[in-house]
């Protein structure tokens, strides 16, 4: 008889929030790069396959234009340039293939609009009420243009004119960023301790999430291919701490912000920096900003690359036999699955269980130690000669009773949060076998799993 038990194991209790991490920060080592600065803006120019950077502040306001592609940074020398400024908003319009620069401050608050066509900057709007140095922008196809929001103002720029959207807008948080999240059907941002979503038909709504933080001056971008919004650094509070230059990198998985990568440097945190997603090279690019435990302005370029570890499951070690009972065996049910993927179910089977006897699954974080004791741990002193504990039994769950031909199944529900990508887990099964040894218990081989993404 086959027993199929879905073990909805709370992985957060038995797996680290980041194992190897689904992403890794790497320092860009090119010799040419923009001067150090903060409060600048960046956007990926898909028509020219390059990340565009403009302006910022480094003791004075800047109006230089830089481009980054696979060959590195280079300064551009257009015939015309917007006035020097910091805290502007910038977004790429894929319909018109223009990078749109909006507002900012350069000693005084600016409310103009400029567009980059790959060769030169052109001023397309001299002033618009509601545009200032607190806003953020992104292209929103559902409203027909570049969406701009600041304070109580929500505007759309279609390339020729502004249109006001009369929806509630939350209170502004200094240096807010936003992205269009197609999976969520709207514009995503964080405002203080709130995660907000703007939809064309209903305006701004607050979303609930598990991560407790209140950040500003952060950097934000989205991988539109995989639909993954990333938020990095900032100043404010995370959990019970409050500091400038937060060190964490988060990914929004549709329900909450989960930590996904270690910080680019061991001790530093970034704020007042900028980030964009490079579609050609398939990675996030971050430049500049203020650095905690360092100088006020940095000229470092960091790139966040997806590691995308493959899903894996392999057995290791050996089970133990008893009097008249062969060693039971634990493995993946390959006719259903061979490895654990995000958001899926992973079916294991135990063979060689004496008919009508029970089996349990030990699920753990380690195959090296448990409660300060090294693994594997011989169990002969407990009446199980030849048996070894191969994994830390952090969670022990019943699988059920074996029917003919001595087989039991169990299914693990794999979390869908991308922060679990690359997480490792370890399993081993313990089987009742009366008379097989003094304890009447046998152990299987172990199994090592790595949670991977779907191809």
Distance in angstroms between the alpha carbons of the first and the last residue of the chain: 34
11-20, 192-201, 309-318, 354-363: range with lowest mean pLDDT = 11-20
pLDDT value at residue 72: 96
State the pairing for strand pair 228-232/203-207.
unpaired
Task: Tell me how far apart the alpha carbons of residues 10 and 328 are, in angstroms, rounded to a whole number.
Answer: 27
Q: Is the pLDDT score of 304 beyond 80?
A: yes
Comparing 403 with 172, the larger pLDDT belongs to 403
Residue with tokens 């409310």: 111
Confidence at 88, pLDDT banded by 50, 70, 90: very high
CATH number of 23-306: 2.120.10.80
Q: Which residue has the higher pLDDT, 90 or 243?
A: 90
- H helix and E strand count, the chain: 1, 42
Q: Say whether pLDDT at 7 is over 60.
A: no
- pLDDT (0 to 100) of residue 29: 87
Mean pLDDT of the chain: 88
What is the average per-residue pLDDT within 130-155?
A: 93
Rounded Cα gap, residues 233 and 213, in angstroms: 11
Checking if the pLDDT of 371 tops 80, the result is yes
* Residue given tokens 């992973």 in the structure block: 346
Instruction: Say what the pLDDT of residue 267 is.
Output: 60
Band (455; pLDDT cuts 50, 70, 90): low
pLDDT at 24: 84
Q: What is the pLDDT of residues 393-443, one digit of tens each?
A: 999 999 999 988 999 999 898 887 777 877 889 999 999 999 999 999 999
> Alpha-carbon distance 384 to 381, whole Å?
7
pLDDT on residue 19? 41
H, E, C per residue of the chain: CCCCCEECCCHHHHCCCCCCCCEEEEECCCCCCCCCEECCEEEEECCCCEEEEEEEECCCEEEEEEEEECCEEEEECCCCCCCCCECCEEEEECCCCEEEEEEEECCCEEEEEEEECCCCEEEEECCCCCCCCCCEEEEECCCCEEEEEECCEEEEECCCCEEECCCCCCCCCCCCCEEEECCCCEEEEEEECEEEEEECCCEEEEECCCCCEEEECCEEEEECCCCEEEEECCEEEECCEEECCCCCEEEECCCCEEEEECCCCCCCCEECCEEEEECCCCEEEEECCEECCCCCCECCEEEEEECCCCCEEEEECCCCCECCECCCEEEECCCCCCCCECCCEEEEEEECCCCCCEEEEEEECCCCEECCEECCEECHHHCCCCCEECCCCCEEEEEEECECCCEEEEEEECCCCHHHCCCEEEEEEEEECCCCCCCCEEEEEEEEEECECCC
Burial class of residue 426, CB neighbours in 10 A (0-12, 13-18, 19+): buried
Asked if pLDDT for residue 18 goes beyond 50, the answer is no
Query: pLDDT tens-digit profile of 274-297?
Result: 999 999 998 999 999 998 766 689
Whether pLDDT at 132 is above 80: yes
d(CA 446, CA 388): 10
At residue 158, the pLDDT reads 96
Q: Give residues with Cβ within 8 angstroms of 373, minimum separation 6.
A: none
Using the predicted structure, report yes or no on whether residue 3 has a pLDDT greater than 50: no
Please report the pLDDT score of residue 294 as a whole number. 67
Q: In this predicted model, what pLDDT tens digit does every residue of 94-105 receive, in sequence order? A: 999 999 999 999
Residue 142 banded pLDDT, cuts 50, 70, 90: very high
pLDDT at 11 over 80: no
Question: Residue 167: pLDDT above 80?
Answer: no
What is the band of 6 on the pLDDT scale with cuts at 50, 70, 90? very low
Query: Cα 260–265–271 angle (5° rounding)?
Result: 80
Nearest residue to 218 (alpha-carbon basis) of 60, 392, 39, 49 = 39
Alpha-carbon torsion, ordered 218, 224, 226, 228, to 10 deg = 20
Beta-carbon contacts of residue 345 (< 8 Å; ≥ 6 apart): 6, 337, 411, 412, 413, 414
Confidence of residue 447 (pLDDT cuts 50, 70, 90): very high
The confidence score (pLDDT) of residue 202 equals 87
53 has which bridge partners?
42, 66
pLDDT of res. 4:
39
pLDDT at 53: 98
Tell me: pLDDT of 42 over 50. yes
pLDDT band at 211 (very low <50, low <70, confident <90, very high): low
- Torsion-angle region of 306 (φ positive above 0: left; ψ -120 to 50: alpha; else: beta): beta
The pLDDT of 192-207, averaged and rounded, is 87
Provide the residue ranges of all domains of the chain, joining segments of one domain with +.
6-14+310-450, 23-306
């Amino acid at each position: 008889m086959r027993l199929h038990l879905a073990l909805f194991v709370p992985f957060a209790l038995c797996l680290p929030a980041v194992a190897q991490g689904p992403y890794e920060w790497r320092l860009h080592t090119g010799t040419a790069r923009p001067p150090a600065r903060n409060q600048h803006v960046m956007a990926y120019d898909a028509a020219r396959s390059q990340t565009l950077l403009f302006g910022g502040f480094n003791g004075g306001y800047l109006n230089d234009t830089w481009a980054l592609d696979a060959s590195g940074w280079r300064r551009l020398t257009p015939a015309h340039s917007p006035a020097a400024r910091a805290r502007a908003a910038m977004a790429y319009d894929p319909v018109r293939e223009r990078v749109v620069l909006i507002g900012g401050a350069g000693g005084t608050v600016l409310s103009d609009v400029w567009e980059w066509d790959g060769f030169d900057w052109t001023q397309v709007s001299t002033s618009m009420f509601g545009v200032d140095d607190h806003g953020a922008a992104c292209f929103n196809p559902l409203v027909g243009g570049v969406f701009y929001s600041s304070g109580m103002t929500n505007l759309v720029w279609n390339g020729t004119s502004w249109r006001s959207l009369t929806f509630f807008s939350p209170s502004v948080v200094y240096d807010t960023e936003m992205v269009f999240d197609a999976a969520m059907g709207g514009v995503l941002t964080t405002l203080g301790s709130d995660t907000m979503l703007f939809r064309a038909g209903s305006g701004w709504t607050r979303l609930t999430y598990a991560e407790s933080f209140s950040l500003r001056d952060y950097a934000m971008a989205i991988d539109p291919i995989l639909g993954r919004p990333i938020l990095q650094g900032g100043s404010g509070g995370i959990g019970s701490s409050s500091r400038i230059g937060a060190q964490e990198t988060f990914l929004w998985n549709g329900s909450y912000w989960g930590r996904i990568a270690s910080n680019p440097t061991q001790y530093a945190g970034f704020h007042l920096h900028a980030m964009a997603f490079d579609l050609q090279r398939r990675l996030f690019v971050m430049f500049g900003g203020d650095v905690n435990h360092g100088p006020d302005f940095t000229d470092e370029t960091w790139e966040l690359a997806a590691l995308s570890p493959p899903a894996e499951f392999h057995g290791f070690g050996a089970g133990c036999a008893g009097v008249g009972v062969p060693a039971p065996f634990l493995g993946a049910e390959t006719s259903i699955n061979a490895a654990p993927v995000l958001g899926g179910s992973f079916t294991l089977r135990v063979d060689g269980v004496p008919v009508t006897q029970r089996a349990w699954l030990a699920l753990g974080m380690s195959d090296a130690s448990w409660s300060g004791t090294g693994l594997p741990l011989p169990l002969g002193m407990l009446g199980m000669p030849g048996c070894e504990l191969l994994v830390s039994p952090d969670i022990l769950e019943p699988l059920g009773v074996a029917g003919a031909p001595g087989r039991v199944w169990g299914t693990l529900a794999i979390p869908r949060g991308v922060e679990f990508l690359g997480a490792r887990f370890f399993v081993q099964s313990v089987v009742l076998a009366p008379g097989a040894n003094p304890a009447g218990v046998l152990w299987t081989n172990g199994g090592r799993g790595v949670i991977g993404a779907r191809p």
